[in-house]
Chains A and B, each alone.
Chain A
Amino acid sequence: MIKPILMQGNEACIAGALAAGMDFFAGYPITPSTEIAELAAERLPARQGRFIQMEDEIASMGAIIGASLTGRKAMTATSGPGFSLKQENIGYAAITEVPCVVVNVQRAGPSTGIPTAPAQGDVMQARWGTHGDHPVIALSPSSVAETFDLTFRCFNLAERFRTPVILLLDEIVGHMREAIVLPAVETLELVHRLRPSGDPAKYIPYDAPLGASAPMADFGSGYPYHVTGLTHDREGFTTAKPSEVEFLIRRLASKIEMNLEEILQWEELQVEDADILLVAYGATARSARAAMKQARGKGIKVGLFRPMTIWPFPEEALRQVAIGKQVIVPEMNLGQLALEIERVVHKDITTVTQVDGEPLKPDKILAAIYNLAGTGKGV
């Protein structure tokens, strides 16, 4: 008999990371993410991993990139203000193609905001927080069990695509406790970055076609090479040659664009017969599911589209599902992912927004459903 265990979202994050092979963590305390650092400090050394509390979030981000370059699977965790501080070095990891995982347990902002209150206000920052065009993968779980799964997945995606991967948690899921059954270790499929083999003299560290990245050598493993945040050629050395610059920037983006099937994950609930489609993620998806059930009880056909991959956004899937349906997007912000969804479904949508530091409750979504169903607009 597998016994379910009671676990907090932030703890499930660490459990998922350790299952994925995390062996390095650098962080700086900030509510509501701190438990992740505390658990890393406790559990990593017990399995020969290494923890370090850095002097700030900029340093934490730098340290995990440095550690990843020595071959470690590295993670940092933070929240709002700390996520802002990490941005420059997230861009560094993106252009130098250093795998790492950045957890952001979203809290109410901007600035110090309400440290203990939930929000989903960092969705666009996760996409565009660092300057310049760059690839991004961001996942957002809705439950404690899914926090385990998606943190695990973050590592696999980071290793597979040599890119920083962001886990967008929120205060609700991060601090919530649920009974979960951890998957058996042998069922988990671990991904490790490709490493070079053969003649070191022939190693070209950034030699890859569109959609791919080259094998990555660990510092000290006999394949010395150069890493720089300047735009670089295939050998890793700085270049301002337009053709080389353009190839690099397009290749970085294409690693994501050309591998969407591997990256995208979403859930569809009762969408087949639905007249109204809720599109929700993270903790808000839980309220959306509750609202959907209540509305169905009243005979209103409501479905739910729940992206677990936020960036890249599962646009093709949503576009298909949304055909002929009215779309409601509840979010704990002033309507951020709603912008992307509106672009994708290409019609007017209804937003349900909340920025008072309280969770977005099912009632509020239900009111929007009744409103739409009552007027019968386009249903």
Chain B
Amino acid sequence: MGSVAHNYLRTSKMPHIWCPGCGNGIITQALLKAIDQLQLDPQKIVVVSGIGCSSRAPGYLDFNTLHTTHGRALAFATGVKHGNPDLTVIALTGDGDCAAIGGNHLIHACRRNIDITTVVFNNNVYGMTSGQFSPLTPVGSYATTAPYGNIDRSFDLCQLSQAAGASFVARSTTYHANHLKDMIVSALQNKGFSLVEAMTHCPTYFGRRNRIGGPVEMLKQQQEQGVTVQAAARMTPEELTGKYLIGELHNQPLPEFCEQYQQVIAKAGGAR
């Protein structure tokens, strides 16, 4: 028996474009399992993405799907959600798509706390354009445009989103696939802007150049580096160097944009 994910795939559009060993399929599966667990109505789901390897995911998903321009997924998604607040709007985006060219849209979507669940496929690199550094590439890593090592400091996307006003923020990894699914479930349940940073691996353009190894070694690295919030609470700062937190990092219900707009309509005298 196949995964429940199969029920939501446009199998006729396979094979997908992703390289062997890519982590994008694991994240996509986690998303579909979360949708299945919550029994969301597929007809009411809109999946929006930008441009990049990861942003190709919606093409394989049997929902209303919108593959937009580079960095702009959240701008389009905002129009979809505000246009019809009854829809479940999910944005899939890469680390470059979301944090570089789309960074402005990200912070403003967080600030509005509009009910969109964003899953960031963070492979630490620009995959589609073959390996340039992104705002989430660690300092010292190598990329085609950082042949001597990256000197640009990277964002902590979760802290950034929390500071910008997102009401739910979580991180997980492709190694912790079930945990990732759980984080997406919680994100979908939050009525407001939710961001899940999914650490994933790009053996082709990141693992090889940085001598981490293939997909297996990269997954092992996620296992070692990803520390749950609970475990981290019992660890010393020294023990935590080189690690990152996974789990629910922020969950604070806040007024949601479209609900607030209902009040604008009422004040303007437009309420039926």
Contacts and interface: CB of A to CB of B under 8 A. Distances in A.
Interface of A: 24, 26, 42, 45-50, 52, 54-56, 58-72, 74, 88-89, 92, 218-220, 222, 224-230, 237-238
Given A63-B79, A70-B87, A226-B66, 9 more contacts: A26-B79, A45-B270, A59-B75, A62-B75, A62-B79, A66-B66, A220-B86, A228-B67, A237-B59
A67 B83 contact: yes
Contacts of B10: 226
B75 A69 contact: no
B80 A70 contact: yes
Contacts of B6: none
Given A69-B66, A92-B68, A63 B46 contact: no
B87 A219 contact: yes
Contact of B13 (A45, A49, A237): A237
Q: Which 4 A-B pairs have the closest CB atoms?
A: A66-B79, A62-B75, A63-B79, A67-B83
Contact of B83 (A48, A59, A70, A92): A70
B62 interface: yes
Contacts of B78: 52, 54, 59, 62-63, 66
Nearest to B48: A66
B76 A219 contact: no
Contacts of A49: 270
Contacts of B48: 66
B176 to A, nearest CB: 30
B271 to A, nearest CB: 8
A222 B87 CA distance: 12
B76 A224 contact: no
B229 interface: no
Interface of B: 10, 13, 42-44, 46, 48, 58-59, 62-69, 72, 75-84, 86-87, 104-105, 108, 261, 264-265, 267-270, 272
Contact of A63 (B69, B76, B269, B272): B76
B69 A89 contact: yes
Given A55-B104, A62-B76, A229-B69, A67 B43 contact: no
A71 B72 contact: no
Nearest to B265: A45
A219 B80 contact: yes
A200 B170 CA distance: 36
A294 B272 CA distance: 56
A45 B268 contact: yes
A53 to B, nearest CB: 10
A126 B29 CA distance: 43
B64 A220 contact: yes
Contacts of A60: 75
A225 B79 contact: no
Contacts of A228: 59, 67
Given A59-B105, A62-B76, A220-B46, A69 B268 contact: no
Given A62-B76, A62-B79, A65-B79, A219 B59 contact: no
A225 B64 contact: yes
Contact of B64 (A26, A61, A224): A224
A50 B85 CA distance: 11
A373 to B, nearest CB: 52
Given A63-B75, A89-B72, A226-B59, A45 B264 contact: yes
A67 B67 contact: no
A24 B81 CA distance: 12
Given A70-B87, A71-B83, A219-B64, A54 B108 contact: yes
Given A45-B270, A70-B87, A63 B66 contact: no
Contacts of A59: 72, 75, 78, 104-105, 108
B67 A224 contact: no
A64 B268 CA distance: 22
A37 B63 CA distance: 33
A56 B104 contact: yes
A62 B81 CA distance: 12
A334 B87 CA distance: 48
A112 to B, nearest CB: 20
Contacts of B87: 70, 219-220
A49 B268 CA distance: 11
15 contacts: A45-B265, A45-B267, A48-B270, A52-B78, A54-B108, A55-B104, A63-B79, A70-B84, A72-B83, A89-B72, A219-B64, A225-B64, A226-B10, A226-B67, A229-B69
A125 B210 CA distance: 44
A150 to B, nearest CB: 24
A63 B213 CA distance: 41
Contact of B84 (A55, A64, A220): A220
B55 to A, nearest CB: 10
Contact of A219 (B75, B84, B269): B84
Contacts of B105: 55, 59, 62
A241 to B, nearest CB: 15
Contacts of B63: 224
B124 to A, nearest CB: 25
Contact of A46 (B72, B269, B272): B269
A42 B79 CA distance: 19
A230 B104 CA distance: 24
Given A220-B64, A224-B42, A228-B59, A52 B82 contact: yes
A104 B81 CA distance: 25
Contacts of A42: 268
Contact of B79 (A58, A67, A88, A227): A67
A59 B80 CA distance: 12
Contacts of B104: 55-56, 59
A223 to B, nearest CB: 8
Contacts of B267: 45
A228 B66 CA distance: 6
A211 B36 CA distance: 41
Given A62-B79, A63-B76, A224 B265 contact: no
B80 A69 contact: yes
